[in-house]
Structure 1
Amino acid sequence: MEGHYIALGINVLTLFLLKLCALQAEGQKQPIASALYVFGDSTIDPGNNNFLATIVKADFLPYGRDFPNGQPTGRFTNGRLITDQLSELAGLPDLLPASLDPEFRGQKLLTGASFGSSASGYADSTSITLNVLPLEKQVENFRLYKAQLVKQFGHETANRTVSQALFAISGGTDDFANNYFINPLTRKKYTIEQFQDLLLNSLSKFIQNVYNEGATKIGIVGLPPFGCLPSQISLHNIVENTCVEEFNEVASSFNSKIKALIEKIRPNFPGVLIAYLDIYDKLFEIIKSPTKYGFEETRKGCCGTGLLETAILCNPSSIICHDPSKYVFWDSFHPTTECYQIIANDVFKQTLAYINSPTQRN
């Protein structure tokens, strides 16, 4: 009988050790990159605009109501952004900090940040109107960050961190939705094709600039079907109450031009991965087949009427839907964190496919 209890004790101990090893292995997930650096607009801005003199902010409730501790951070959604979720999927911290946040210092410098600014775009005119950070200023802030990285950790660590990091840019929606299609001066100056080329020229300069700073893995996020955003339907197609097909066609054609640009310039960056990351197809599928993904509402956001509210129009006095997880959009312009999670999973799969493909580098 004593031997039976000893054997039982050994089995229990063995199971405990196996479980402990499994938990340790799970907790020590190997990151696929040293850091994540992102640039662009409100889809990736975790609060940089909090530190700017602009009305384009989300540092108040109900933004962030489903964030840890229910704290608004400046993220234009109810919880985490797609970049927070991508960072976690990549084996990095599950919250990507804002580069302008005073708390972004010390060891946090080593795993990346967002340099993006809500309402920013590829065109300077898109950003200047609302006093947010244009793309060139975002890159300048990255250079300042890199200098700080060198100062604190030395050239070798800084160069290794940057060279092994993932860089990503997500922009363009504000250029069209909040500039070209509402500003008669912009439309008078450019045809839609000329404006697209202007944005592509800015994107090309961005790629060159981050390459000069040591980037070796660069992801270019395409445009979403912005004609299906609740605000765009309300402003431009309220009678039919359906997606603005013209806008979606512009997004599709611009995405095709991004892919063509990447193929054209790739030989200029030997050994560098430049990848196109699609979000159009997944978001369009979610909007057209919401129940497949557990959603019920696609026409309006969770905040207020959901038809036009964003930024200060979505505020502590706004009526909020009962269950944001059933909504594709949080406000009239930005997805819920639940929708972002689905898109993040899809983008991460694309990223892994590019990284693991030996044919993607020259």
Structure 2
Amino acid sequence: MTTEELEQLLAQQPIALLHRLARGRIQRHFRAGKRRLIEVLLRHSAENRAGFESDLMTLIGEQQARPVPPPQQAPAARKPKPSAPHRRPAHKPVEQDSHEPAITLSSWLEGLGVPPPQTFVPDAWQEDAIAKLRESDVVVSVPTGSGKTYVAVEAARRAIAENRTVIYTSPLKALSNTKYTEFSKIFGPDQVGILTGDRRDNGQAPLLIMTTEILRNLLYDAGGGEIDVRLDTLGLVILDESQYIADPERGVVWEETIIFCPSQARLLLLSASIGNPHDIAEWLTSIRPTPCHLIRHSTRTVPLRAGYLHPNGKLTPLFRTVGIPHGHPGHLHPEAKRLFLQYEDETLPSGRRR
């Protein structure tokens, strides 16, 4: 088989088969794309072309021998049930206004802004999360603004005091830069470093901020035999915005980071919107040497308020009440209704207005 024929045959195969062929031949082959993987395999095949072609044909034969699942048959069509005759309502239901007076704009804005200084008292779930990190991994699933960062800071403070390295990951470089600035003020600039695709500062600091991809690559390199003292002393890995594990494109980065994380390090996963925290905690328990504890808290520390800002700059509460009504009809604020109608009159053709 000529080199050109071998290249064409490799190009016709799925990338999963190429990775199987590269096992034991190429280090860190899982980091290469298909085109790059084919180039490296071709160079490697020159050392033992006969053995390489034999392994390739064996893998192709195994793949072709796999049984093809039979096509699923469409379910038989069900006979439609006769529907009851449609009765037209005698009148269109009208939303009745609440007898309670609508809140004023000043009352709606009351309490917004920076609160006065007061002694901070951690919530019970925060203390529980920090305590559980001594003996297990922890998944924290709480609403935005509830205090996830406090758990991360206190856990990092304890690990640094024990001369352990702490790695804090985020999905975005911009968020990594923000956390670098925030943590530098808390721990001191000499205690915090940052590693991203285009920025490397104080890379030997005890607390390192980086994107999740950077940590995954460090773990890849360690798996290939490259020694990194930061991983030898690693005591805590904080994965912020861990709901990205469900992302169809980037989720594999979070999965591999968790799988390759050193066993002596504790994992702390933080998220405000992860959909299945119980499943994530059970999965971590099944693949890690330590159990995983789930901390779940559903009450918002900072309640939400809904308002409407008209293009002309007019601001009004969206509902009659201060908060967002849940579990019962939320009547719109009269001023919000008026502004909605005004916006329709200004933007929609007359035939489409309600």
What is the TM-score when the length of structure 2 is the normalising length? 0.31
Relative to its length, the structure with more strand (as a share) is: 2
When Rg is computed on C-alpha atoms for both structures, the one with the higher figure is 2
Relative to its length, the structure with more helix (as a share) is: 1
